[in-house]
Structures are given as structure tokens and as C-alpha cells.
């Protein structure tokens, strides 16, 4: 098979046994995973868990110590140049010359790639049209971030690496960025997304790898991770009267907490239905009765605890 060309359905990224140390610190310690073509693959984990080092090795920005890495069937360590024009990189920490203007940056980066997108369109898409002629130094954090993402896409990459893409964006900006990422994927681009925002990972990713101390401790779809590691659901309501000792005997209820008038019941199964039935049976009908679905964030905390305790 020719280097750089993949058979149908072959993964866009294949990593096996990747390791990288800085001095005596093992930043990445035997990581293996695959990213399918057209997938949005999330990498989450605490600070210093090896996320960025891993994607830097995939992008050919860092030499690995051990393991095998193929991106688009190319080795980023030795076939950096061939790979460079086919991937897009938004780096966690980088900058542009202070007086470089937005359009000049896009024009420059487009010129460096043999195949590039019309950058004017990217300027529109990423909401930079008004800032087209602004210098990099005059951009806000969010505008810089959007410019970096636009630069990562200007060469029309087959795989794009987004490292903390929405850091510095306001809530509306984050939502807009998510929509754009979905659109990028719908054109067939594979996306590797490093993030510490759980809602972002849950919202965007098809599958997620959870990093902890340089290893992958869980890898699955967001819903499977939630089901496995955050099976609890939580029911909240307010009630001003006496304690409700009978609540803990509701089917599925594991614990009942009260802080002032606020009650919190955690447990498994159809908890809301059972709690509601018990409340009604006792003549209590709180207006704010609601259930909180388990989130990826809870799953993440659960995974972290499990992984931590196994050491």
C-alpha cells in the first residue's frame, strides 16, 4: 500500500504504546487508541495528564520516545513534511507577530499549503470579518482563539487537531464554535478535540478518551461513559416543613440530603417517578421538583476516583 493512502474504513489515526518523558517525568505512558475517519474524537483529562503531549506527538511537533503512531497512514515523526499539509493544528499555546493583521495571517498560511481553502470564507464563518484588518495584538482572547481555529482549517485538512479550542470564548461564542466544528466534520474532516470542558466533549464528541497521569483510563462514547461511571441520578426539590424520613425508603434512593429547604435525593433507576409518588402520597407537591441527569462531568469525576484509587 502506498504511504499516506489508506484503505476504506481504515482509521485516520492509529496510536499504539505511545510514550514520552520529559526528564524523569513520564508525560505519556503507553497510550493506545484509534480515531475513525470522520469522527470527532475527544481527549479529556486533568491538567498535566498528557493530553497535549499526545496530540503534539500526533502532529509531529514532538518526538515520541516509544510506540507507533500513524496519522493518515503517515508517521508524524519521520514523515512530518508529507503529513503537514494534510492536517490542521490549533495549538494550545501559540502566538502570531503582534502587528500581523488577521487577513495577512490567513493569506500567509493559505500560501504555505499546496491545497488551501478560500480564506475569505473562513473569515466570515469564524466571525472575523469585522476584524479582518486588525493586528493580532489588538484582538481579544476569543478573537485570537477563533483566528487560530480558522488558521488550522485554512489548508482544508483531512484531520484537524483542536487543543482547547473554546478557551477564552464567551458562551455564545462557544456554541457558535461547536456548530462550526460539526459543520467541518460534516464535510468529512476527522477531528481530534482536546478539551477540559466536559459539556463541550459531551456535546461534540462521538467518542472520548479519558487521560489520567499519562494513561487512558476509559475510552467510549459519552453516553456509555456516563452510563458506566455516573449511573446515579439526582432529584431536587424544596420543602419548608419537617424532615421527610420516609424518602430514603423510596425504591432506588441511595441517599437523602437536606440543606435548609432544599432536598437532594440521589439514587438509581426511575428515581424521579418514585420520589414524586411518595411526595404526592404524603400530600406534598413541590413546584420545583426536577431530576438532574448524570453528566459526563460526574462520569469524569467517577473515572478519576476509580483510576486514582487503583494506584
Partner 1 sequence: MKGVRKLAWVEVKLFVREPFALVVAFAFPFFMLFVLVGVFGNEVETTDPEAMRVWRGVGPSDFYVSTYVGLVVASAGLLTLPLRLAGYREAGVLRRYRAAGLSVTVVLGAQVLVCAGMAVAGAVGIVTTSTLVYGTALPADWALTVIAAAIGVAAFSSIGLFLGAVLPTARAVQGTGLALFFAMMMLSGSGPPRGVLTDSMRRFSDLLPLTHLNLLLQDAWLGFGWATTDALITVGFLAGSAVLAVRFFRWE
Per CB under 8 A, residues contacting partner 1 are 59, 61, 81, 84-85, 89, 91, 93-97, 99-100, 104, 107-109, 111-113, 135, 148, 151, 155
| Greatest alpha-carbon span in the chain | 74
Q: Which is nearer to partner 1, 156 or 206 (CB)?
A: 156
CB atoms within 10 A of CB 99: 10
Q: Pick from 203, 202, 199: which is nearest to 225 by CA? A: 202
Q: Which is nearer to partner 1, 108 or 273 (CB)?
A: 108
Question: From the CB of 157, what's the least distance to partner 1, in Å?
Answer: 11
Strand-strand pairing, 290-292 and 233-238: antiparallel
Question: From the CB of 52, what's the least distance to partner 1, in Å?
Answer: 12
Helix (H, G, I), strand (E, B) or coil at 220: strand
In order, the DSSP letters of 234-273 are EEEEE--SS--GGGGGSTTEEEEEEETTEEEEEESSSHHH
Report how far residue 61's alpha carbon sits from residue 71's, in angstroms, rounded to the nearest whole number. 13
Q: Which is nearer to partner 1, 154 or 253 (CB)?
A: 154
Question: From the CB of 189, what's the least distance to partner 1, in Å?
Answer: 17
Q: Which is nearer to partner 1, 98 or 242 (CB)?
A: 98
Strand-strand pairing, 190-194 and 159-163: parallel
DSSP 8-state symbol, 23: T
Q: Which is nearer to partner 1, 150 or 230 (CB)?
A: 150
The x, y and z cell numbers of residue 113, run together, are 499549503
Question: From the CB of 97, what's the least distance to partner 1, in Å?
Answer: 5
Question: From the CB of 53, what's the least distance to partner 1, in Å?
Answer: 13
Question: From the CB of 116, what's the least distance to partner 1, in Å?
Answer: 11
Question: From the CB of 85, what's the least distance to partner 1, in Å?
Answer: 6
Q: Which is nearer to partner 1, 135 or 231 (CB)?
A: 135
Strand positions, DSSP E, the chain: 13-22, 25-35, 40-45, 66-71, 87-90, 159-163, 190-194, 207-212, 215-220, 233-238, 253-259, 262-267, 290-292
Question: From the CB of 117, what's the least distance to partner 1, in Å?
Answer: 14
CB atoms within 10 A of CB 220: 16
Question: From the CB of 265, what's the least distance to partner 1, in Å?
Answer: 49
Q: Which is nearer to partner 1, 126 or 148 (CB)?
A: 148
Q: Whats the size of the chain, residue-wise? A: 311
Q: Which is nearer to partner 1, 148 or 237 (CB)?
A: 148
Q: Pick from 159, 157, 177, 161: which is nearest to 169 by CA? A: 177
CA 43 to the chain's CA centroid: 5
Q: Pick from 108, 41, 146, 177: which is nearest to 58 by CA? A: 41
Q: Which is nearer to partner 1, 93 or 242 (CB)?
A: 93
Amino acid at each position: 500500500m502506498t504511504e499516506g493512502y489508506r484503505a476504506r474504513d481504515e482509521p485516520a489515526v492509529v496510536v499504539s504504546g505511545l510514550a514520552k518523558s520529559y526528564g524523569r517525568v513520564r508525560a505519556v505512558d503507553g497510550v493506545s487508541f484509534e480515531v475513525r475517519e470522520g469522527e470527532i474524537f475527544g481527549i479529556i483529562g486533568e491538567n498535566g495528564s498528557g493530553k497535549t503531549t499526545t496530540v503534539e506527538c500526533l502532529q509531529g511537533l514532538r518526538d515520541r520516545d516509544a510506540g507507533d503512531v500513524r496519522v493518515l497512514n503517515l508517521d508524524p515523526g519521520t514523515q512530518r513534511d508529507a503529513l503537514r499539509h494534510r492536517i490542521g493544528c490549533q495549538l494550545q499555546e501559540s502566538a502570531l507577530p503582534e502587528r500581523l493583521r488577521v487577513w495577512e495571517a490567513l493569506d500567509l498560511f493559505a500560501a504555505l499549503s499546496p491545497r488551501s481553502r478560500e480564506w475569505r470564507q473562513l473569515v466570515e464563518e469564524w466571525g472575523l470579518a469585522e476584524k479582518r484588518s486588525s493586528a493580532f495584538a489588538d484582538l481579544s482572547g476569543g478573537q485570537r482563539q477563533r483566528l487560530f481555529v480558522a488558521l488550522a482549517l485554512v489548508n482544508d485538512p483531512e484531520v484537524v487537531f483542536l487543543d482547547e479550542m473554546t478557551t477564552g470564548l464567551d458562551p455564545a461564542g462557544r456554541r457558535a464554535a461547536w456548530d462550526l466544528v460539526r459543520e467541518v466534520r460534516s464535510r468529512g474532516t476527522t477531528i481530534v478535540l482536546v478539551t477540559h470542558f466536559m459539556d463541550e466533549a459531551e456535546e461534540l464528541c462521538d467518542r472520548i478518551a479519558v487521560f489520567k497521569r499519562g494513561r487512558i483510563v476509559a475510552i467510549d462514547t459519552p453516553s456509555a461513559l456516563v452510563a458506566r461511571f455516573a449511573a446515579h441520578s439526582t432529584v431536587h426539590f424544596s420543602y419548608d416543613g419537617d424532615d421527610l424520613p420516609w424518602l430514603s425508603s423510596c425504591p432506588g434512593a441511595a441517599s437523602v440530603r437536606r440543606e435548609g429547604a432544599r432536598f437532594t435525593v440521589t439514587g438509581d433507576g426511575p428515581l424521579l417517578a418514585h420520589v414524586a409518588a411518595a411526595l404526592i402520597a404524603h400530600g406534598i407537591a413541590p413546584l420545583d421538583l426536577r431530576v438532574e441527569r448524570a453528566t459526563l462531568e460526574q462520569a469524569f469525576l467517577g473515572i478519576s476516583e476509580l483510576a486514582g484509587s487503583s494506584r
